[in-house]
Structure formats: C-alpha cells, structure tokens
Amino acid sequence: MTTPALARAAALDAADPLHSYRDLFVGAQDSSIPAYLDGNSLGRPLRASLDRIKAFIVEDWGGRLIRGWDEQWFDMPIAMGDMLAATVLGAAAGQTTIGDSTTVLLYKLARGALAMRPGRTEIVVDRDNFPTDRYVLESIAHDLGLTLRWIESDPRGGVDAQELAAAVSERTALVVLSHVAYRSAYLLDAAAAAQVTHDAGALLLLDLCHSVGSVPLELDSWGVDFAVGCTYKYLNGGPGSPAFAYVRAEYLDDFRQPVWGWMGRDQPFEMAQGYEPAQGIRRMLSGTPPILGMLAIQDTLELIGTAGMAAVRAKSVALTGYALELVREHLVPLGAEISSPLEPERRGGHLMIDHPRFAELTAKLWNRGVIPDFRPPRGLRLGLSPLSTSFREVTVGIIAVREELVRSDQPAL
C-alpha cells in the first residue's frame, strides 16, 4: 500500500471528531480484519453491550425471573420505541414500538394501511426495492386481489417525485418505498414523496433499514404515515435483533394490524374472550416481545444521542466522499463503475461499485479480512458505518480490491 494513501487516511482519522468512538466497539482493533466495510448489513457490537447483556442475564433474568415482566419488560417495547423515536426517527413519543422482524412488521403495517383505504385497488412500489418488500407486497396483492403498480426505477439511483407522481392515481391505496435504496444508496426526498402520495389520497410506508442511524430522519415533519426498519445495521443490535414500526399518531385510533396476539390486546393479562386492540402503538404487538434482542440497541442509541445525528451524518458524508475519491483513483481505471449518486445530498451511508469480476473476488477479499458485501449481478457494496469505520479501513479496503483486480488480470502460469 502506498505511504501517501495511509498518511492521508491517518490525517483524516486524526481530524475526525468521532474517531475515538471506534474504540468502543468489539473487534475494532482486530488485525485479522483490517477493513470491515459491511456495517450496513451487520454492525459491530459495542463493548458496553457485553456488560449490559451479562448484567441482564445475571441480575434481571436470573435474579428477578418472571417478576421482570411486571417490573420492566412489559413496557420495554414501547419505552425503547420512544427512545428510538427521539434519538434517530424525528418522531414524538407514542408512535413507535419494537418487536418482530422487518418482514413481519412490514406485513402488519401494509395490511393495516390498506384497510384504511377501502375501495382502492393498487399498491405502488419500485422494481429495485429490497426483495423482502417486493415479496411481501406480492403476497398481499395476491391474497387481497390488488394490483401492484411497478415503478421502473434506475438501479443506480432511485425514485424521484416525478416518477412517483406518474405512478399514483385515484386507485392507489399505498406507496411503499425505501428511504435509502439498498443497492445504490439513493436517498429519497421523503417529504416530497409524502406530499405526492397524499395528493393522490394514498398512504406512504417507508422502509428505513438502510437509513436509520446513518441519515437524519424527521418522520413527523415529513408527513410519513408508516415506517419500518431493522436494528442490526447502524444500530448494532446484533444478528436478528428486532425491527421497529412507526404509525403516525393520527392513525392510531383506527389502525388495525392483521396478526392478533395477546400482547397487543387491551388488558392482555385478563385473558378475556375476544380480541380488543390495545390503545395506541401497543396494538402493533402480537406475541411476547424479544427482550434480550432489545438490549444492545440501547447502547447505540445512547452513543448516537451523545454524538448527535448531525455529527454522525457529517462523518458518513466524509467517509463516502473519501471512498469515492479512492474508487476513482484506484478502481475506475481497472473497469469499475460507480453505481451510487455522486452528490452527497442524494446518497445514504454506503456505496455501490460494479465490476464483472466482483462476484469471484469477494471470497478472496473476505479471506484477507477485507469484508465488503456483494450484491448481484456484479456489485460490491461498501457499507461505511460512521461510528465504527475509520478512514484507514476505507483505504485498506479499496487498495485490497485494486490488488485483487490486478491479480485477476494476470495470466495463469
């Protein structure tokens, strides 16, 4: 690796006001993983979470046992939802809860939203939305006899307000879009999308999986109706940590989700006959919430609260901008193509780089401890988590990609 590249990265790290946060993460100094560039798929765990989870097992679970439900756990999904809303969602209390997976919550929100627009027959979604979103909506459309109205979005970009306006009509019940596109990192103008959707009399459901904890959100002021997102990416909740759901306050009295379970019933411990939804956002719950899975999320929210989302976003823009410079210098001359928006205001926290040989090179990079993410058909996705990724990691990772591309061009002996 060239000394100037490392020297520049060192200078950027030294000037980074969030650089010391990296030391708070488990494995951040592990020399066997010189470049972890997949934080937008699975974030590193925080050291504080080790202590929190151990204390929970020994003191709360082991010490309080079933009494924990009365003392704390029953209200934990709502309390955590409020913490999430205040720290990273730009939402008032009482509209967010945690529980289930992204897939299940997406289904609940979509079905509940559609029931609020009876007589309308279409769901609008883009072709390049995340597979789960598309599959869930295909299932719902099939079951309810609705039509999916597809937006043929550019896989290197995303859906803009004009494209959305051309797709919605008086038949549209629901629009489902990702705030940050999982492939290109295109950053949706959510306020404009909400306005276009509402002008058509429809409802907007946002997928926040690739933006929460990386991009500032203002769900209330944007006019978003419903939102869903995961917690194991930029929120570092761990593999399979529960997702969250947001329901705008004005809809809560009428909102009915389709999976009726005892934890979402009014007065659940009465064990009464017949289902009556709980008041407020608790009605989004179904079964017993995953208490253990919520623990690590708290540490990241506390850390983001200390740093501030403005500083997190500034670091994210700096990381992706620096990565773009390195890609142009080292990978574009070797045939790589940038498949993410170049303007920082239109880009989330990751980058997509395309090359015909990235599929075969990904395993070789992983063997070197350089860990990006491959997305078919030929994309290398660089996920740069602002709190745990250093400029040195970005440099080491992109230079390693260049070395593997050069090596793959060499004729076999």
Q: What is the 3-state secondary structure (H, E, C) of 266-316?
A: CCHHHCCCCCCECCHHHHHCCCCCCHHHHHHHHHHHHHHHHHCHHHHHHHH
The secondary structure element, H or E, covering residue 175 is: strand 172-178
Indicate if 233 belongs to the active site. Answer: yes
pLDDT tens figures, 293-335: 999 999 999 999 999 999 999 999 999 999 999 999 999 999 9
**Is 232 tagged catalytic?**
yes
Whether 207 sits among the annotated catalytic residues: the reply is yes
pTM for the model stands at: 0.96
The single residue of 25, 36, 226, 232 carrying the catalytic annotation is 232
Active-site residue flag, 74: no
The pLDDT score that the predictor gives to residue 413 is 46
**Catalytic residue from among 22, 108, 183, 233:** 233
Q: Are strands 337-338 and 350-354 parallel, antiparallel or unpaired?
A: antiparallel
Question: Of these residues, 8, 52, 64, 130, which one is catalytic?
Answer: 130
User: Which stretches in the chain have pLDDT values below 50?
Assistant: 413
60, 207, 299, 354: the active-site residue: 207
Alpha carbon distance 245, 330 (integer Å) = 41
